[in-house]
Amino acid sequence: MKKLVALAVCALALSGCATGTDAVAQGGTFDFVSPGGKTSIFYDPPSDRGTVGNLSGPDLMTADKTTSLSDFDGKVVVLNVWGQWCGPCRGEANDLEQVAEATKDQGVQFLGINVRDNQQDKAQDFVTDNKVSYPSIYDPPMRTLLALGQNYPTSVIPTTIVLDREHRVAAVFLTELLASDLQPVVERVAAESSSTNG
End-to-end CA distance of the chain: 15
Residue 35: predicted pLDDT: 64
Is there a domain that residue 39 lies in?
A: yes
Indicate which CATH number applies to the domain containing 157. 3.40.30.10
Reduce the DSSP state of residue 102 to 3 states and report it.
helix
- The domain total for the chain is 1
Q: Is residue 17 part of a domain?
A: yes
- Report the pLDDT value the prediction gives residue 140, as an integer from 0 to 100: 94
Is residue 2 within 8 A of residue 48, CB to CB? The reply is yes
The answer to whether residue 174 sits within a structural domain is yes
- Chain segment 42-53, per-residue pLDDT in tens: 999 998 899 998
Rounded Cα gap, residues 48 and 44, in angstroms: 6
Q: Which domain holds residue 168?
A: 3-191
In this structure, is residue 198 part of a structural domain? no
Rounded CA-CA distance 41/34 in Å is 7
Taking only the tens place, the pLDDT of each residue in 110-126 is 999 999 999 999 999 99
Which whole number is the average pLDDT over 89-112?
98
pLDDT tier at 26, thresholds 50, 70, 90: low
DSSP for 21-67, written as a single string: -S-EE---S-----GGG-SEEEEESGGGPPBP--EEEEBSSSTT-EE
**How many residues are listed for the chain in this entry?**
198
